[in-house]
Structure 1
Amino acid sequence: MDLREFLLARIAEDEARARTAAEDGTTCTGGWPPQRLLVECETRRELLRLDLDQAVCEDADRGCGHSGTDIEQGRCERQSADDRPLLRALALPWSTHPQHRDAWLP
């Protein structure tokens, strides 16, 4: 599991919790309304998309020309999700998660 996959899994977990809270008419952890957490999940997904777009541009500047799919699937040895500063920052809230790696800390 790379950092991008780790983040997508955590976002999906948060989204599922928020949807359950919305259906139950309760609040999420921290007293947040479910809609706020759902918006946060979509925001994090958008940041992941923007970071991938940036990785594609950086790859093109180096002359590799890999697609976003190639980069996501690890086909470019110059691009690793584990080395992306934005992704490392996004992972901080889950730094105590059992699947989080210390190497992902900023």
Structure 2
Amino acid sequence: MDVVEFLSQRIAEDEAAARNLLNDRSLSRSGEWYERRLLLECEAKKRLIGIVESARQAALAALVRESDGDAPWSPEALEWTRLSLNALALPYLDHPDFERHWLQL
């Protein structure tokens, strides 16, 4: 499983849990605020993953177009995409599917 698939599954789980709790009539106002905030955080994470993945795909496409070796940057310049996605996985460190190499900087 790659980090994007892992994140997508965890975010979906977080969203489902927040929605279930929001349907609980005994939820306090502060609990309701927290669950609504969690839903917004899930949406923000999904958007960020989309941005990073789009940037990675565009950069890889540019590398393929510049296959003559004169590209102004190298694949190492894409390192920020890997680091960004790995950073988003950090809150799920205790999940059994979390891969320790995602901790590397």
Q: TM-score, normalised by structure 2?
A: 0.74
Alignment partner, residue 84 of structure 2: 86
Superposition deviation, residue 33 in structure 1: 2.2
RMSD of Structure 2 on Structure 1 (CA)? 2.3
Which residue type is aligned with residue 94 of structure 1? Y
Which residue type is aligned with residue 62 of structure 2? D
Which residue type is aligned with residue 39 of structure 1? L
Alignment partner, residue 101 of structure 1: 99
Higher relative contact order (CA 8 A, sep 6+): 2
Determine helix, strand or coil for the equivalent of 2:20.
helix
Superposition deviation, residue 6 in structure 1: 0.4
**What's the % identity of the aligned pairs?**
42
Alignment partner, residue 18 of structure 1: 18
Alignment partner, residue 56 of structure 1: 57
Gaps of 5+ in 1: 65-77
Where in structure 1 do 4 or more consecutive aligned residues deviate above 3 Å? Answer: none
Equivalent residues, number: 88
**How far does the alpha carbon of each residue in 1:27-60 deviate from its partner, in whole angstroms, 9 at most, with x for none?**
6xxx552111100000000011001111111112
Superposition deviation, residue 96 in structure 1: 1.5
- Which structure's residues are more often helix, by fraction? 2
Alpha-carbon distance in structure 1 between the residues aligned to 2:61 and 2:99: 29
Alpha-carbon distance in structure 2 between the residues aligned to 1:90 and 1:45: 10
Which residue type is aligned with residue 95 of structure 1? L
Q: TM-score, normalised by structure 1?
A: 0.73
Gaps of 5+ in 2: 66-74, 76-80
Alpha-carbon distance in structure 1 between the residues aligned to 2:98 and 2:57: 25
Alignment partner, residue 34 of structure 2: 33
